[in-house]
């Protein structure tokens, strides 16, 4: 599947109606395995989830977070830009497909492509970077497919289940994205 054959998605603003979906996805340990979550179960209460989404809606937490919907209107995950550096024109991307029924079908790539366009065109970014755990092979493969390149290894960068894991830092530049 090339990026031209990706399923269509729509990025939309979050609403408080998204709280229950997000809460349920965060209960799924397969969904949250590679996400930076508190070391407790559940990682967040419904109230904490609602407060987080409310901060995203009001843009008081520094995140440009969008809900991912399929062409049919199914809410399947979220994508965001954070750590936005307005002076140097870069930001960090985060993405999660919470509904496992949509895993491995190109929805994440499609949502990532939309968010990259938003970051480059609407926020005026030049570089969008990310951190991904070195053992998250599926994510690394999808990022490379989108045109991301490895910048380096962040050693013992995340504490996961009581052990430190390395993360790759990857990035894509605006001109690389539009050549792709």
Q: Among all residues, which ones are annotated catalytic?
A: 143
- Helical (H) or strand (E) element with 13: strand 9-13
Can you tell me the distance from the alpha carbon of 170 to that of 15, in angstroms, rounded to the nearest whole number? Answer: 30
Quick check: 15 and 68 in contact, CB under 8 A?
A: no
CB 113 within 8 A of CB 145: no
Q: How far is CA 28 from the centre of its chain?
A: 17
């Amino acid at each position: 599947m090339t990026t031209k054959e990706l399923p269509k998605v729509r990025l939309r603003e979050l609403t408080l109606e998204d709280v229950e979906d997000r809460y349920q996805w965060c209960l799924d340990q397969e969904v949250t395995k590679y996400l930076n979550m508190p070391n407790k179960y559940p990682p967040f209460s419904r109230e904490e989830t609602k407060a987080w989404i409310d901060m995203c809606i009001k843009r008081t937490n520094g995140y440009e977070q969008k809900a991912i919907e399929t062409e049919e209107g199914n809410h399947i995950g979220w994508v965001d830009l954070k750590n936005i550096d307005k002076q140097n024109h870069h930001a960090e991307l985060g993405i999660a497909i919470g509904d496992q029924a949509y895993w491995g079908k190109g929805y994440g790539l499609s949502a990532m492509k939309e968010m990259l366009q938003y970051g480059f065109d609407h926020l005026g970014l030049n570089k969008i970077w990310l951190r991904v755990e070195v053992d998250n092979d599926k994510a690394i493969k999808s990022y490379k497919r989108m045109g991301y390149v490895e910048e380096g290894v962040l050693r013992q960068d995340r504490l996961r289940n009581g052990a430190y894991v390395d993360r790759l830092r990857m990035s894509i530049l605006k001109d690389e994205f539009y050549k792709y």
